[in-house]
């Protein structure tokens, strides 16, 4: 969720490092555009051309778009949301073994990856996991999206895949519990994503915003849709294509 940040106060800076270290060591964490329909486009050249055009326009104008009928079953998407919620809502003792800031581990549970450098701590906890079914389906969708973006750039459809844009997967499961002092923090501050692109699965609460022409605009949550966000590495690569 992209939102504006909070200005720090003198009191917040006082002994901030010690306070953050104590919080981190408790290991209890905070909780103790355009819609593109991908159905049948491989069998219909005219439909594929139309989708490529829409994806290209969305990438150029917004850097975001939503995908519907993407081939990932709704049951899989709902189960992902439910499993992330169940993990975060279990007893804190059951989660401690996964708590770490070692990014080489396959599964990490922590709060605020930039806890010690950010001006304000975000009110969220994070679980990273390679969840087999979902990750396989998202990787397949990612390959399709790379093809569409390649074609939108006037390149061979395999170009971005061939230069390695589709390698690797980082899965992050954010959880935003109710905050007793919501005026003092954010779910997630304003930011850009560092990779080639992000495939975002929202729950029905929503809250995602994108910055367009200096205005924050709400992204309506559509059940079963996935939000695609171009990342910094993709935008940095485009001028050289």
Q: Is 44 left (phi over 0), alpha (psi -120 to 50) or beta?
A: beta
- Model pLDDT, residue 5: 25
Which domains are assigned to the chain? 30-237 (2.60.120.330)
- Model pLDDT, residue 199: 94
Of 50, 73, 59, 101, residue with least CA distance to 196: 59
Residue 40 belongs to what H/E stretch?
none
Site of tokens 């996964």: 98
Q: Is 168 left (phi over 0), alpha (psi -120 to 50) or beta?
A: left
Integer Cα distance of 109 and 99 in angstroms: 5
**Please, are residues 231 and 195 in contact by the beta-carbon 8 Å criterion?**
yes
- Model pLDDT, residue 14: 44
Integer Cα distance of 136 and 116 in angstroms: 33
Within the chain, which residues score under 70 in pLDDT?
A: 1-36, 112-130, 239-241
User: What are φ and ψ of residue 43, in 5° steps?
Assistant: -95, -5
């Amino acid at each position: 969720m992209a939102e504006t940040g909070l200005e720090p106060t003198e009191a917040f800076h006082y002994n901030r490092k010690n306070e953050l270290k104590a919080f981190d060591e408790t290991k209890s964490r905070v909780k103790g555009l355009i819609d593109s329909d991908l159905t049948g486009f491989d069998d219909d050249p005219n439909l594929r051309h139309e989708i490529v055009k829409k994806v290209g326009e969305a990438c150029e104008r917004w850097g975001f778009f939503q995908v519907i009928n993407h081939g990932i079953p709704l049951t899989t998407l709902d189960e992902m949301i439910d499993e992330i919620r169940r993990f975060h809502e279990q007893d804190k003792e059951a989660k401690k073994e996964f708590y770490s800031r070692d990014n080489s581990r396959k599964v990490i549970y922590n709060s605020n990856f930039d806890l010690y450098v950010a001006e304000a701590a975000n009110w969220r906890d994070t679980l990273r996991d390679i969840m087999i079914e979902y990750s396989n389906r998202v990787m397949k969708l990612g390959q399709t999206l790379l093809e569409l973006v390649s074609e939108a750039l006037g390149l061979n459809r395999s170009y971005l895949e061939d230069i390695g844009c589709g390698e690797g997967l980082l899965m992050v499961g954010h959880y935003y519990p109710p905050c007793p002092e919501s005026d003092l923090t954010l779910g997630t501050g304003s930011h850009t994503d560092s990779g080639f692109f992000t495939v975002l699965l929202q729950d029905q609460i929503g809250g995602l915003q994108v910055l367009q022409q200096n205005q924050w605009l709400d992204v309506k949550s559509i059940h079963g849709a996935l939000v695609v966000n171009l990342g910094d590495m993709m935008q940095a690569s485009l001028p050289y294509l």
